Amino acid sequence: MEYLATIGVLIAIYVILSSSYNLVIGYGGLSTVAHPIFFAIGAYTAGLLAIHSSLPAPCNVLLGGVAAMIASVLLAASALRVSGDYLLIASLGFQLGLLQLIKNLDFTGGPGGLTAIPGTVTGAARTPFFLVVSGLLAVATVVGIRAIVNGPYGRAITAMRDEELAFTALGRDATSMKIVIFAIGCGIAGIAGGVYAYYFQYISPDQFEVLQSAAILTMVVLGGMGTTFGPVVGAILLLAIPQAITFLNLPPGIMAPTQGIIFTVLVLAFLFLRPAGIVGLARKTL
């Protein structure tokens, strides 16, 4: 049970990550790979505050989100000023640079990571408690993003993605809008990071590498980019499938490669057969 609940917490956190990433890349059309680094900024901020300050845990998680948001505005405001394409390169550089910094600083724990983050909640109720909290946050994220993209604001985002020049010439400030979308998406990732740090009580820089970018991107693409529930489906599938395979009781020598093969086949199959993703299929058959 404990094991399944842990996977539940992980799924909730990845639903938050993939949904917020989808807001940025799917709805906003902003090419960035750096989503894990904002996850990391949230995790490290909350973790360090938990160790060194006496602020309550929810406050630290929220500050993690704020820190990620501020960092994202700094990145987007400088990169988008040049051009939209520049963001991809800038985000990659930002992620790699910041990870190097984390690995080489003392107070972040260096390459070994940040250990002994206080657990706040202890005892048997710990995992169920985190399951409920992260689950609620995941629902709030999905519902919140849905509300944003369905209203007048979402209409403006669509128009901006369709025809940015016409959008701007109608009196809309596309650059600020992109920065706002980026900041919201990255801020949410920061909050997810805070929850992650409190639950696992240990974070290391390896967890936020480019491989993680690929994992979150796969969730979004597989589920359906630019759809509300696509990233949710993608996150659940990509986390559940490897767990399901472990239940087959295969010898370890076969299991590890099997997981990799199934993953790769799945991604390739979707790219060729259903490029709009699982949820995207129903709506985007043009």
What is the closest distance, in whole angstroms, from the C-beta atom of residue 24 to other proteins in the complex? 14
Task: Among 152, 251, 252, 253, indicate the residue that binds other proteins (CB under 8 A).
Answer: 152
Contact 141, 19 (CB under 8 A): yes
Residue 172 to residue 174: CA distance in whole angstroms:
6
CB 118, CB 201: distance < 8 Å:
yes
Ranges within 17-56 binding other proteins (CB under 8 A): none
Q: Does 155 bind other proteins (CB under 8 A)?
A: yes
What gap in Å lies between CA 220 and CA 94, rounded to an integer? 22
In terms of CB distance, is 125 or 166 closer to other proteins? 166
By CB under 8 A, the count of residues binding other proteins is 23
- Residue 168 interacting with other proteins (CB under 8 A): yes
Rounded CA separation 234/217 (Å): 10
Measured in degrees and rounded to the nearest 5, phi and psi for residue 125 equal -80, 0
Of 171-210, which residues contact other proteins (CB under 8 A)?
A: 171-174, 177, 180, 184
Asked whether position 163 contacts other proteins by CB under 8 A, the answer is yes
| Residue 275 sits in the site that holds other proteins (CB under 8 A) | no
Cβ proximity to other proteins: between 92 and 159 the closer is 159
Q: Contact between 77 and other proteins (CB under 8 A)?
A: no
Q: From the list 59, 118, 140, 162, which residue makes contact with other proteins (rule: CB under 8 A)?
A: 162
Does 260 engage in binding with other proteins (CB under 8 A)?
Answer: no
**C-alpha–C-alpha distance, residues 34 and 80, integer Å:** 15
* Closest C-alpha to 24, from 89, 93, 91: 91
Of 166 and 214, CB closest to other proteins: 166
With contact defined as beta carbons under 8 Å apart, do 46 and 254 qualify? Answer: no
Q: Is 169 an interacting residue with respect to other proteins (CB under 8 A)?
A: yes
Compute CA distances 82 → 29, 85, 159, 183, whole Å: 16, 9, 21, 18
Tell me: does residue 66 bind other proteins (CB under 8 A). Answer: no
- Distance between CA atoms of 37 and 207, rounded to whole angstroms? 10
Q: Is 153 in the site for other proteins (CB under 8 A)?
A: yes
Q: Could you list the residues that contact other proteins (CB under 8 A)?
A: 148, 151-153, 155-156, 158-159, 162-163, 165-174, 177, 180, 184
